Amino acid sequence: MRCDQTAAWKALQAHADTFKSFDLRSAFALDPERVKRLSLAAPYIWADLSKNHTDTATEALMQELARQTGLAAHRDAMFRGEPINNTEGRAVMHWLLRQPEGTLPGALAAPLQEVQGTLKAMLTYVEQIRADVQITDVVNIGIGGSDLGPQMAVLALQDFVIPGKRFHFVSNVDGHELAGVLKGLKAENTLFLIASKTFTTLETMTNARSALAWFQAQGSQDVSRHFAALTTNVAAAAQMGITTTFGFWDWVGGRYSLWSAIGLPLAIAIGAQGFRDLLAGAHAMDQHFQSAPLEANLPVRLGLLDVWYRNFMHYSSRSIAPYHSALRRLPAYLQQLEMESNGKRVDRNGHALPYGTSPVLWGEPGTNGQHAYFQMLHQGTDVVPVEFIAVKKPTHNLAEHHALLLANAIAQAQALMLGQADEGGHQHFPGNRPSTFLLLDELTPTSLGALIALQEHRVFVSGSVWGINSFDQWGVELGKVLAKDIHARLLSGDTQGLDASSAALLQRVLG
């Protein structure tokens, strides 16, 4: 049953009307057990939800909404390998990429065996490249999920990266990006990874052809040694002279593909065991999502909170504030994960929705964000829930830095909640601004795997409740199709049949 057709949805609407006077400061004063009741642990992550605009009644109603919309059955169907991506007729099995070998019976045993075979071949190649001292630079050429995931993770795990090798990521078709990377490289010391499932992605293949031309212009000819492809189109890769390929399956969506061959640059960076640790952390979160009851299930609680905020509190965005410099690309990664998955206006049957879906995600690392957009968070006219992500133990030994960083994270969450009175107005902080606090003991391959899987499952939860297909992305296609037409017109100068604005822009560019 779609969420807006349930009794729980109607009850939540009535509850939200009475919730308008809710104040966090009063909630804490009235309930000394609030932190205990609204905190929970999941593998490698502790979450404090107590500073959110929610209470026990809200939580109970949201969990009832999950039951009435069949969330558990939908989750179980995904883990059985059923084709829950109904618009493309595909299963959704990125979780299988981190499933331990030999742990699934029946119909899933064969695909798991394939996954493990590809993983072993990839990790054998990884160790060969790591041992090759001539390769000093690895350039990953991809876009979307073939770029954001590996790039984010390599930066996040910089302390685990092999010395003597540098990692570069090229995604934009804007030639300034590729040219800037190539400036500092030597062909004989560079490995290019071309990441495109179909080997037809416009941006990726444009950059790949330019990289190949640069490589050959340096006098280098051994393409098979210096290029590898992460693709299922082995024939197209071979036409470029690429003989080393690692494939993946149509049940792996781009934004969920870090765990597959798309993770090759990360695996080279942190090694075979490091990559297996990443998979193990994600698998631990998979098991938590599958088995923990709704009230103790962190992905469920976060996903339901997102629905409560979007549809009943009418908060249209969420700010991600990772208080760890290594997580600086996490907000960008989560933007794609959530907004490409749940930025949909129709349900699974193609019917227009009368309620909002994905919020807008945005953010920067702390403490940088404090000196930029936190002004709006504290004193702006919009209420924006903030998600703080912090790590208890640093990997550096710089005295005072980490204590100051953690103090700022805790203080910002406190300030958003408490506010400050000022009769003059300019220094008045209204307070009662909501936030979530996620805390990791350490930032390691294992804990990063758990954190990413947590966010994946959270997106599944909200999408499931909304009754949408979180695993297609038709919205990225129309602009690509039109770009081909505009590109041809740029070459020919023909503006016939274009809308007035596009024609004027084309003429100005050409002129």
Q: Which residues are catalytic?
A: 340, 371, 480
Rounded distance, CA 150 to CA 157, Å?
Answer: 10
Q: Are 360 and 340 in contact (CB under 8 A)?
A: no
The SS3 of residue 329 is coil
Q: What is the largest CA-CA distance in the chain?
A: 74
Contacts of 150 (CB under 8 A, 6+ apart): 140, 142, 169, 195, 258, 262, 263, 264, 265, 266
Where does residue 167 rank: exposed (0-12), middle (13-18), buried (19+ CB within 10 A)?
buried
DSSP 159: G
Q: Are 342 and 359 in contact (CB under 8 A)?
A: no
Sign of the C-alpha dihedral computed for residues 393, 395, 398 and 401 taken in this order: negative
Alpha helices in 183-329 (DSSP H): 202-217, 223-226, 234-239, 264-291, 298-307
Closest of 64, 72, 43, 98 to residue 298, by C-alpha: 43
Long-range contacts of 115-123 (CB under 8 A, 24+ apart): 118/246, 118/247, 118/248, 118/260, 118/261, 121/246, 122/246, 122/261, 122/264, 122/267, 123/267, 123/272, 123/275, 123/276
Cβ contact 493:510 at 8 Å:
yes
Q: Write phi, then psi, for 167 (nearest 5 degrees).
A: -120, 130
Burial status of residue 421 (CB atoms within 10 A of its CB: 0-12, 13-18, 19 or more): exposed
